[in-house]
Amino acid sequence: MNAAIGRWVRPEIQALKAYHVPPAQGLVKLDAMENPYTWPESLKEQWLRALADVSLNRYPDPSSQQLKACLREVFALPAEQDLLLGNGSDELIQMILMTLAGPERVVLAPEPTFSMYRIISATVGVPYVGVPLRDNFTLDVPATLAAIEEHQPAVVFIAYPSNPTGNLFAAADIIAILRAAPGLVVVDEAYSAFCDESFLGRLGEYDNLLLLRTVSKLGLAGLRLGYLVGPPAWLHEIDKTRLPYNINVLTQTSAEFALAHYDMLIDQTQRIRAERQRLQQALAQLPGVTPYPSEANFILFRVAPGRAPQLFADLRGAGVLIKNLHGSHPALHDSLRVTVGTPEENDAFLQALERLL
């Protein structure tokens, strides 16, 4: 290692691996929980005309007021709660942790979960504590409450539905955590479009509850837009860590345009929900495959011991890219995750998997 790097780069950064996104050109891409549907050509033309009026020589609205108004209306966000936007939900996670970082501070989350909670905690220098889920991927409430009592976390992150498992934790279990947590509890509803449950209606009941969402899973992943909803006093402090003009003018304009056609996006999510059910049933019929219930736009499934890495590689060789989770966490041994795609993409995946099995 370069001596200067060894001297100056923080040890926790040296220990990290950069977030890796595998190349997907020419493959059926079912690895990143993306909406597989595009827009009709007529709508694309309208969108491009809207972008033609954007002034690229000027900075964007620093507070994205018009976009915030669209988000409030479309998602029926409570008027008494504040709204903060980020360059994807990842930036908002970083802003939360930068706000709370300090000596003796700890981040806590049930595991396995979204990897960026741990990664961003390391980048801002806050110790991270993972509490194992039960074997069926439900919350171990006694263990979680004991960890809260021991570590007094500054923030608890809970993915709802959970990623990468896809299940929805019991609301009563999350409420127990909210009541016990001394700091913030961030309920991450990145996949809210694919389930019927939400903590949006509970905002205001608990002073330490923040709700995190993204428009990525609605088919707008390329825009990189996340939003945080919660008590104004908390968001006022978190906003101080936001870099100026973090939501660029093309994202603001494009998101406003897309939200004006929200019915189309909802129609796409309904199609994904229907395909999720079909894909779940088809996987359950394959020998040696155990799919887990999902309320998201992906399905976690387990295969015979020792087969996951080779199946992942063989599927890729057959032109289908999914996610290999084997080795990422002890609870995910022999596990793979597939994004719900179009009917044609799902058929290609199922046919390839059946051949390989």
CATH number at residue 142: 3.40.640.10
**In this structure, is residue 49 part of a structural domain?**
no
Domain identity same for 177 and 232: yes
Instruction: Select from 203, 232, 259 the last residue of a domain.
Output: 259
285 and 234 belong to one structural domain: no
**Whether 276 and 255 share a structural domain:** no
Q: What is residue 334's predicted lDDT score, i.e. its pLDDT?
A: 97
Residue 156 in tokens: 């608890």
Distance CA 76, CA 298 (A): 26
Picking from 225, 259, 293, the residue at the C-terminal end of a domain is 259
Q: Are residues 249 and 285 in the same domain?
A: no
Say whether both 70 and 156 belong to one domain. yes
| SS3 of residue 83 by DSSP | strand
- pLDDT for the residue 256: 97
- Residue for token digits 């939900």? 89
CA separation (Å) from 184 to 54, 139, 175, 181, 323?
38, 18, 13, 7, 31
Same domain, 31 and 169: no
Tell whether 83 is covered by a domain. Answer: yes
Q: Is residue 105 part of a domain?
A: yes
Into how many domains does the chain fold? 2
In a domain, 14, yes or no: yes
Q: Does the residue 48 lie in any domain?
A: no
- Record the tokens describing residue 40, joined without a space: 């009709």
Contact 130, 118 (CB under 8 A): yes
* Pairwise CA distance, residues 280 & 298, whole Å: 10
Q: Establish if 47 belongs to a structural domain.
A: no
**Does 283 lie in the same domain as 166?**
no
Same domain, 154 and 277: no
- Per-residue b or e along 155-182, where b marks 16 or more CB atoms closer than 10 Å to that residue's CB: bbbbbbbbbbbbbbbeeebbbbbbebbe
Q: What is the pLDDT of residue 290?
A: 97
Pair 23, 82 in one domain: no
Q: What is the pLDDT of residue 18?
A: 81
Residue 303, pLDDT score: 97
Neighbours of 103 (CB within 10 A): 6
| Paired sense of beta strands 184-188 and 323-324, if any | unpaired
Domain end marker among 259, 290, 307: 259
Which residues span the domain enclosing 24? 3-40+263-356
Shared domain check, 152 and 76:
yes
316 belongs to a structural domain: yes
> Residue 278 sits in a domain of what CATH number?
3.90.1150.10
pLDDT at 19: 80
Sign of CA dihedral 234, 237, 241, 244: positive
Reading the chain (357 residues) residue by residue, the pLDDT tens digits are 688 999 999 988 888 888 888 888 889 999 999 999 999 999 999 999 999 999 999 999 999 999 999 999 999 999 999 999 999 999 999 999 999 999 999 999 999 999 999 999 999 999 999 999 999 999 999 999 999 999 999 999 999 999 999 999 999 999 999 999 999 999 999 999 999 999 999 999 999 999 999 999 999 999 999 999 999 999 999 999 999 999 999 999 999 999 999 999 999 999 999 999 999 999 999 999 999 999 999 999 999 999 999 999 999 999 999 999 999 999 999 999 999 999 999 999 999 999 999
Asked whether residue 18 falls in the same domain as residue 102, the answer is: no
For residue 42, the Cα-to-chain-centroid distance in whole angstroms is: 30
Beta bridge partners of 109: 130
C-beta separation of 88 from 225 below 8 A: yes
Q: Let me know whether 280 and 349 are in one domain.
A: yes
Task: Determine, yes or no, domain membership for 139.
Answer: yes
